[in-house]
Amino acid sequence: MIYIVQIIIALLILSFVIFSFVEIYCKIVKKESRTYWIMLISFALFFLMITVRNHLVKNELVENIKTSTIDQSNSFFSKRELSDIHVVSEKIRVVDKDIYIVLMPQKDTLYMNQDFHNKNKFWVHYKKYEILKITAPVGYIIKN
C-alpha cells in the first residue's frame, strides 16, 4: 500500500510539472486555459498523499516494533516509548548525532535524532522507506 501511495505522489509531482509548462505556454500564447486549477488540485493532493504516506509508514513501524526484539546502539528506549510516535509535518532542527535501533529478526533499521530545542524529543526516521537521509522523518517520540 505504501508503494502505491509513493507512485501516486510521483504522478502528482509529474502532473504538476506538466501542467505548469502548459500554463506557461498558454500565458505566452495568450490562450485561455484552465490548467491553473489542475495545478492547484495536484499540489493540494500532493500534500494530502504525503500525510497519508506518513501515517501508513507509522502504522507499519509501530506494528514492527511490537512484534520485534530491539537491538539498540547507545541509548535505551522501551517498546512503549518507541510505539508512541507522533506524526507531524513541522520543520525540525536536530543535534547532529544519530541513534540507531535495529528491529530483529526483520533487521529493519530506524534512526533517531535528538531535537535541538527539546532534549526529550527524538525524531524517528525509518530506513525501509527512506531514499535519502535528508528526507522528512516519520514523526517524533518523547523520552520519559
Tens of pLDDT, residues 37-83: 889 999 999 989 988 888 888 888 888 888 888 777 666 778 888 88
Tens of pLDDT, residues 85-116: 888 777 777 777 777 778 877 777 788 888 88
Q: CA–CA separation, 136 vs 25, rounded Å?
A: 33
- What are the residue ranges spanned by the domains of the chain? 2-67, 70-142
In the DSSP assignment, the letter for residue 119 is T
- The x, y and z cell numbers of residue 4, run together, are 502505491
Q: What is the pTM of this model?
A: 0.76
Q: CA–CA separation, 128 vs 56, rounded Å?
A: 13
3-state secondary structure of 129: helix
